[in-house]
Amino acid sequence: MLFKSHGGVHPNDKKAPANEAVITTIPQPPEVVIPMSQHIGAPCTPLVAVGDEVKLGQKIGEAKAPVSAPIHASVSGKVTAIAPHLNNLGNMVTSVVIENDFKDTPAETMVPATEEDLQSPEKIADIVREAGIVGMGGATFPTAFKITSGWGKVDTVLINGAECEPYITSDHRTMLEHPDELLKGIQLLMKACKVDKAYFGIELNKKFAIDLLNFKGAKEMGIEIVPLKCQYPQGAEKTLIKTITGREVPPGGLPANVGCTVFNTFTAYSVYRACYEGWPAIERVVTVSGSAIADPKNVKVRVGTSMQWVFEQTGGFAKEPWKIIMGGPMMGMAQYDLEVPCGKGTASLLAFSDDEDRTVADPVCIRCGQCIDGCPMNLQPIYMYMYQQKGDVEMLQKLNITDCVECGSCSYICPGRLHLTHAFKTGKAMVQAHMAELKAKAEAEKAKTEAEAPKAEAPKAEAPKAEAKPEAPKAEAAKAEAKPAAPAKEEKKEDK
């Protein structure tokens, strides 16, 4: 059974250098910098103060909001500073700096859950939340919230093992080296989601992993391994759901709208570690690769380790890099400071020294239409780009720019080397700003008319004249309000 998704591109997967490299451990850094926000949602508040002694796995950041995840110490030692530090998104984020005592004294909380606890979905969700587990593929959405918000809606659990981004092999190595743990983690996720069927989508360039997981009895556990055609972005959430189940998540909707929920491979493995070993999310397997890297590897990295340390401990650069990327080459973030710490969702560190991005001085569209063929969301990048350059927000909305998942396929395939994805990121921001403006305008108009209402009533003779004027803008505002309201209604319908 072979599944292919619509659209997509076929970049050289470049996985060969790191594919055979067994996951190794690198020496711990003398100091870790742990950002208090490593997830989508509210940042955490530090639970420790400067000078405190912390143990390995001790909770140091408390998550108060429902969409959030607590943060744990990734080494034992002493807190030397709590200050803003540059993170992978280029923001300054409050971070806890811990001086490593190299003892790895475990915290009392690091104990495996009892078999009894692991029978209850609520308990598993609790453990997952307390372990600070987030979507490890890079999106870093809090996993516990994903589980609990899906109750009653989700009938299928999908595990994303596509690893469709070139270079990255960390999930592949995890599948090969920890198959039993991984399958147990998936079983836990199924139980937590109150579902007894899971699909594990794996791209065909990981044939050994597919065979191994089947051999380990995935089928008997209710986990169906689904071989996927190698094609980017096979592992994009909506694309994966479409290829495996045939369901399409509606625009602006969530996977739960079509009864699905998707977890990354490493998330499932982390769930296993949290439940059976008591380990919170403080370690991630990271692929270090790229043309500038002397010796591509897969290494276990503690959260908060600087990129500089990881590069140094893995053999450093063979050639002078001009670009460092945290994450995959298609959606990862380019970094300018190697002091940025690795986080929970860091699947790879790449360093480029060749002409990978093939930028040209004057990009020209030749109207080849390959961006349309390559778009997994059925958009028309060629026209979206045109209107984005003109700043025509209304046409951008008409072309559904907000459906764009920023996968980068259009930019990748463009022979004219246009910066399409970049234009759509700014285009989406333009649309958002426009919507906010309209909303503010409408509200101001509403407040104005409400304030004027008693005045207009008093002098009755003047009423028709006075009313005629605010009428027109009111109608416009009403129209503007009706537009954004429509998709919201849609979502609600699906929810029910």
Partner 1 sequence: MNEERKLIVSSSPHIRTPRGTQQIMLDVIIALLPALVAAVIFFGVKPLIVTCVSVVSCVVFEFAYRKLLKKNDSYMDLSAVVTGMLLAYCLPYTFPWWAVIIGAFFSIVLVKQLFGGIGKNIWNPALAGRAFLLVSYAVLMTTWSDGPDAATFATPLASLHAGALAPDGLWNMFIGNIGGSFGEVSALALLIGGAWLVYRKVISLRIPVAYIGTVAVLTLIFSRGNNHIMWMLQNLLSGGLLLGAIFMATDYCTSPVTPNGQLIFGVGCGLLTVLIRYFGGYPEGVSFAILIMNCCTWLIDQHTAPRRFGVTKGKKKEEAKG
* Site residues, partner 1 (CB under 8 A): 9, 11, 90, 166, 238, 242, 248-251, 253, 308, 320-325, 329-339, 350, 352, 356-358, 360-362, 364-369, 372-373, 376-380, 382-383, 399-400, 403, 406, 408, 411-417, 419, 421-422, 425, 490
Q: How far is the CB of 321 from partner 1 (least distance, A)?
A: 7
Distance CA 295, CA 18 (A): 8
Q: Residue 224 phi/psi, 5° resolution? A: -95, 125
373 by DSSP, 3-state: which?
Answer: helix
**Residue 223 C-beta: closest distance to partner 1, Å:** 27
Residues 6+ apart with CB under 8 A from 343: 35, 38, 87, 88, 140, 284, 303
H and E: helices and strands count for the chain = 15, 17
Q: Which helix (H) or strand (E) holds 32?
A: strand 31-35
Q: Locate tokens 């996720």: which residue?
A: 189
Q: How far is the CB of 381 from partner 1 (least distance, A)?
A: 10
Q: Which is nearer to partner 1, 225 or 254 (CB)?
A: 254
Phi, psi of 261 (to 5 degrees): -145, 140
Element (H, E) at 82: strand 77-86
The residue (of 272 and 311) whose beta carbon lies closer to partner 1 is 311
Judged by beta carbon, residue 448 or residue 493, the one nearer partner 1 is 493
Give burial (CB, 10 Å; 0-12/13-18/19+) of 351. Answer: buried
Nearer Cβ to partner 1, position 465 or 489? 489
Q: How far is the CB of 88 from partner 1 (least distance, A)?
A: 12
For partner 1, give the closer residue by CB, 366 or 475. 366
Question: Whole-angstrom Cα distance, residue 77 to residue 33?
Answer: 12
Burial of 68 (0-12, 13-18, 19+ CB in 10 A): buried
Nearer of residues 76 and 411 to partner 1, judged by Cβ: 411
Distance in Å, CB of 84 to partner 1, minimum: 17
Residue 315 or 415: the one with the smaller Cβ distance to partner 1 is 415
Q: Name the one residue in this structure whose structure tokens are 């409050």.
A: 94
Strands (E) across 303-440 are located at 323-326, 333-335, 348-352
Q: How far is the CB of 298 from partner 1 (least distance, A)?
A: 20
Distance between CA 154 and CA 147 in Å, rounded? 9
Q: Which of 75, 420 has the CB closer to partner 1?
A: 420
**Shortest distance, position 379 Cβ to partner 1, whole Å:** 8
Shortest approach of partner 1 to residue 440 CB, angstroms? 28
User: Cβ 8 to partner 1, closest distance in Å?
Assistant: 13
Q: Are 32 and 305 in contact (CB under 8 A)?
A: yes
Choose between 285 and 371: whose C-beta lies nearer to partner 1: 371
Phi, psi of 360, rounded to the nearest 5 degrees: -120, 160
